[in-house]
């Protein structure tokens, strides 16, 4: 005789005081960047931090927000942006206080670069220290597949960066002679020494039944890593 199915546990309920206590902000003492929750970044601000525009959800203290100007990345990038329309909106947060950042409920990861470099999809950069040099570029050939192309941020130097992913990120090793192929919309980041190529795959397009154009893949060769997420994210759209 089979056992009866288990009875689901009742959902927990709280008094108002218990809810406030259980969800209260906590100081973990981790420094400039802290994960208040898996999906909320706390910045213990004392100076300046660069943030993704629209990512601020709360703050207290004396903090001023200003948008990055076109000239802030230098004349070369200004001319490049004027010709190609490339760009990603960054907001400077200046002052002292606690700043809370989030992006559509995505999971937050914090990386401390130590004289290193990394490429991150423009959709997935949440915040980074101004000690890091940043350069925004676009893989133009992928514009044939996704509206607006694929914007990347190249961060280099020493400092912290917070990136976001839909669900848990997975890092794949790239080894000589063993290229790694990824879906551009599921690709989050890769090591700064890798320069991916874009590859068309008509047979894959036929298999999955897409009729809007060839299927594109990113091909990583050499030695390094690539970070993916189990989600195909809509390509970053620069804000005007």
Q: How far apart are CA 176 and CA 132, in angstroms?
A: 29
Residue 147 has a pLDDT of 47
Q: Does residue 180 fall inside a structural domain?
A: yes
CATH number assigned to the domain comprising residue 88: 3.60.160.10
Residue 229 CB-half CA count within 13 A: 24
Q: Does residue 173 fall inside a structural domain?
A: yes
Q: Does residue 240 fall inside a structural domain?
A: no
Q: What is the DSSP string of 37-89?
A: ETTEEEEEEEEEEEEETT-EEEEEEEEEEEEPPGGGG-HHHHHHHHHH-----
- Min mean pLDDT across 97-106, 122-131, 144-153, 222-231 is at 144-153
Give the structural domain span for 54: 30-228
Residue 150 has a pLDDT of 72
**Which of the pair, 112 or 88, is modelled with greater confidence?**
112
Residue 76 has a pLDDT of 46
Domain count for the chain, please give it: 1
Q: How far apart are CA 211 and CA 215, in angstroms?
A: 10
Rounding to the nearest 10 degrees, give the CA dihedral for residues 17, 18, 19, 22. 130
List, for residues 11-37, the tens digit of each pLDDT value: 667 655 766 676 666 666 568 999 999
List, for residues 37-62, the tens digit of each pLDDT value: 999 999 999 999 999 999 999 999 99
Which secondary structure element, helix H or strand E, spans residue 132, and what is its range? none
């Amino acid at each position: 005789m089979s056992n009866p199915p288990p009875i689901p546990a009742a959902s927990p309920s709280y008094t108002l005081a218990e809810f406030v206590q259980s969800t209260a902000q906590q100081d973990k003492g981790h420094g400039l960047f802290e994960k208040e929750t898996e999906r909320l970044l706390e910045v213990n601000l004392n100076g300046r931090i660069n943030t993704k525009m629209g990512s601020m959800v709360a703050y207290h203290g004396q903090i001023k927000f200003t948008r990055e100007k076109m000239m802030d990345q230098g004349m070369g990038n200004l001319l490049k942006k004027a010709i190609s329309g490339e760009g990603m909106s960054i907001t400077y947060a200046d002052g002292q206080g606690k700043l809370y950042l989030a992006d559509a409920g995505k999971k937050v990861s914090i990386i401390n670069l130590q004289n290193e470099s990394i490429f991150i999809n423009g959709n997935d950069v949440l915040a980074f220290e101004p000690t890091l040099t940043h350069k925004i570029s676009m893989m133009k050939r992928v514009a044939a597949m996704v509206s607006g192309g694929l914007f990347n941020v190249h961060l280099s130097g020493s400092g912290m960066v917070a990136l976001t992913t839909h669900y848990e990120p997975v890092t794949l090793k790239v080894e000589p002679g063993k290229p790694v192929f990824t879906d551009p919309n599921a690709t989050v980041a890769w090591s700064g020494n890798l320069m991916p190529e874009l590859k068309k795959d008509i047979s894959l397009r036929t298999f999955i039944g897409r009729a809007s154009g060839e299927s594109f893949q990113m091909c990583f060769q050499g030695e390094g890593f690539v970070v993916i997420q189990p989600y195909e994210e809509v390509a970053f759209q620069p804000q005007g």
